[in-house]
């Protein structure tokens, strides 16, 4: 069984950064991801707030980070970690995947999150038939057509602008009375002429073979309105992936996120956590910073 000093589970921005820092420390490291490196970060159409780049796509930035990480680390993509067990030996963790198993002295959990669903009638029925959760994946098919974006945060507004630039006729539906996004994004929405309906929620998605309309409800009056559309893109937040953390009895907060200290340590010795699976601001630059901190913390702890 192959042995490592550090196994990093998740190859998003945080996991890759942890690998970059760990690799330069001379430790033997493995990065594992159940998908391609980058996860949902690959879907970000444009970023204008990542230091060093005026504008860069998530996919382009991930590929640059991946190239750095694999210089001094093993990277296993498309390999799903199914179980982690712990004992009192030097290589105290056994990581079992759907392809192999490994032993390691320490674990960095960078397992990220996945997009929430609306959980409304018609959503499951029309997945891939007009219901989408990824503008960069599916936006091309909606050029020149009417689409709805559901959400009011940074991701929702970024995707609305991206789809507008592809030539789609975009309407944003948001349950609040104002967007929760950064001011620059809100200003871009106004300048672009993108339509939006506030204080409204989607009640049902309708169609025959493909999506044809959605029913929305005014959260104040309860009034219903049928809105014709060719597609609906859902961007209403994320669910942290904490299944492996729970196997190790890692402490979570009331929203289901991992609790860490300033060194990214969890309540379990030699288990660290970074990125969207943790409590804190959901931003690439934050995940990268946490990855650097965690890799350094592991290195120092392994010297003791």
* pLDDT tens track for 161-173: 999 999 999 999 9
Q: In terms of domains, do 6 and 95 share one?
A: yes
Please tell me whether residues 227 and 262 are part of one structural domain: no
* 19 and 87 both lie in a single domain: yes
How many CA atoms does the CB half-sphere of 217 hold within 13 Å?
10
Residue 78 and residue 160 in one domain: no
Q: What is the pLDDT of residue 119?
A: 94
Lowest model confidence (mean pLDDT) among 16-25, 46-55, 116-125, 181-190: 46-55
pLDDT score of 83 more than 90: yes
What does the pLDDT read at residue 155?
87
- Judge if 26 and 45 occupy the same domain: yes
The answer to whether 231 and 134 are in contact (CB under 8 A) is no
Domain that holds residue 290: 2-114+238-303
**The predicted structure's pLDDT at residue 103:** 98
User: Is the same domain home to 123 and 227?
Assistant: yes
- From 195, 211, 234, give the residue that closes a domain: 234
Average pLDDT in the 72-100 region? Answer: 96
- Percent of the chain with pLDDT strictly greater than 70: 100
Neighbouring C-beta atoms of residue 134, cutoff 10 Å: 17
Q: How many independent structural domains does the chain possess? A: 2
What percent of the chain is predicted at pLDDT more than 90?
83
pTM over 0.85: no
Q: What is the pLDDT of residue 278?
A: 94
Residues 41 and 67 in one domain: yes
For residue 89, what is the enclosing H or E element? Answer: none
Same-domain pairing of 100 and 7: yes
pLDDT value at 40 more than 90: no
Residues 106 and 245 both lie in one domain: yes
Last residue within a domain, chosen from 234, 262, 290: 234
Domain boundary among 219, 234, 249: 234
Question: Which alpha helices (H) appear in 5-153, and where do they start and end?
Answer: 13-24, 58-69, 135-138
**Residues with Cβ within 8 Å of residue 113, at least 6 apart in sequence:** 40, 238, 239, 240, 241, 276, 277, 282
Q: Tell me the catalytic residues.
A: 134, 137-138
Query: Same domain for 7 and 102?
Result: yes
């Amino acid at each position: 069984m192959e042995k490592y000093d550090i196994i990093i589970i998740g190859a998003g921005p945080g996991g890759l950064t942890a690998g970059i820092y760990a690799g330069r420390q001379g430790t033997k490291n493995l990065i594992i991801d159940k998908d391609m490196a980058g996860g949902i970060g690959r879907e970000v159409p444009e970023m204008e707030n990542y230091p060093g780049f005026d504008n860069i796509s998530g996919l382009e930035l991930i590929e640059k980070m991946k190239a750095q990480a694999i210089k001094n680390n093993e990277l296993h993509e498309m390999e799903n970690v199914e179980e982690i067990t712990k004992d009192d030996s030097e290589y105290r963790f056994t990581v079992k995947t759907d392809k192999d198993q490994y032993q390691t002295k320490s674990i960095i959990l960078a397992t990220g999150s996945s997009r929430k669903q609306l959980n409304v009638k018609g959503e499951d029925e029309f997945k891939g038939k007009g219901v989408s959760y990824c503008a960069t994946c599916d936006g091309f098919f909606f050029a020149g057509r009417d689409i709805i974006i559901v959400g009011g945060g940074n991701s929702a507004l970024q995707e609305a602008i991206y789809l507008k630039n592809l030539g789609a006729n975009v309407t944003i539906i948001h349950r609040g009375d104002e967007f929760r996004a950064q001011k620059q994004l809100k200003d871009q929405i106004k300048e672009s002429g993108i339509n939006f309906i506030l204080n409204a929620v989607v009640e049902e998605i309708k169609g025959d073979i493909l999506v044809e309309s959605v029913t929305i409800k005014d959260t104040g009056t309860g009034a219903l309105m049928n809105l014709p559309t060719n597609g609906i893109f859902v961007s209403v937040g994320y669910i942290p992936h904490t299944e492996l953390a729970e196997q190790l009895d890692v402490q979570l907060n009331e929203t289901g996120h991992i609790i860490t200290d300033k060194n990214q340590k969890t309540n379990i010795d030699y288990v660290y956590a970074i990125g969207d699976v943790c409590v804190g601001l959901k931003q690439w630059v934050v995940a990268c910073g946490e990855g650097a901190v965690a890799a350094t913390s592991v290195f120092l702890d392994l010297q003791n």
